[in-house]
Structure 1
Amino acid sequence: MGEFEKRLSQVRAEMERGEFKRASRLLAPLVRDGVPEALFLYSTFSIAGSESDAEFEKRSLELLTRSAQAGYPPALYALGACYDAGDLVERDTYRAAALFKEAADRGHAKAMFLHGLNLMAAINGMPSLPVDGLELVKSAARAGDDDAVQFLADRGIRA
């Protein structure tokens, strides 16, 4: 395990324990270096009293965007979810669909499910490719996405 991976593992452990100040200190040099996972992780939390809600939202979106631009699948998915819901950004379902596709192409299970649904329904500017969409939903289910598993079970389809 490399140095980045060790530090990121420590950060995740601190976050699980609710030790966000410690996690923030561990992340600082990785964020300065532009490590995509570090950017993503630091976009997910604020330390009480250290910034206003508006400051946190601005920082969060900036870091999430940088991580997504670097191709980090969880950031691509999360930014897509922001655009899909209009959270922190103006709602743009076409942008959301493109981000879900990119995250799906990089193996993100939830993004595979959502992109698969988009392909099946031919929505958000996606072409109608129902068979490809169903295969993506099946891949998402095999990768452990609970919504994809339920979607297939509700329709009597095996992954």
Structure 2
Amino acid sequence: MSLVVAPAEGETPPPATGSGPTPDPTSAAGGQGGGGWVGMSGSADSTLGFFRVDAAAGRLEFLGSQTLPSAGISDIAIRRDARVAATAHWDGRVRLWHARKRAPLGVLRYHSKAAAAVALGGARGGLLATGGRDGAVAVWSVYATPQARDG
């Protein structure tokens, strides 16, 4: 299992954890949202799970799940503000989500084989990079943060 967390501004991130020497088909990611860390998890089945972590209380709360149209999630990334998330799928698609609302935002089609990796970031918060088993890398402009749009 891999775990990625994005600290709130001014906070120290927890120690990094990752998969062992053998690949694990499960992915998890988290970002700071109102009321604790917001997270998502997925694996070889067609279920995307949503959860919240309250580190101070030592509590993990399951928020619900979505059944996806096809099985296989390779990677998950959640933007630092926990508004936008991206999931990489074995069918070559990348799905965008509103992480806090657990709502789909859109589907990106580019890779001819499985989408293997996703990363959200950029100085203005509006870049998504995707990598696929087809050897291609794509960079997308997606949903800049409100501060980036205003300034």
* Short-chain TM bin: under 0.3
The alignment's TM-score, normalised by the length of structure 1, stands at 0.25
More strand by share: 2
Which gives a bigger RCO, structure 1 or 2 (Cα 8 Å, sep 6+)? 2
More helix by share: 1
The alignment's TM-score, normalised by the length of structure 2, stands at 0.26
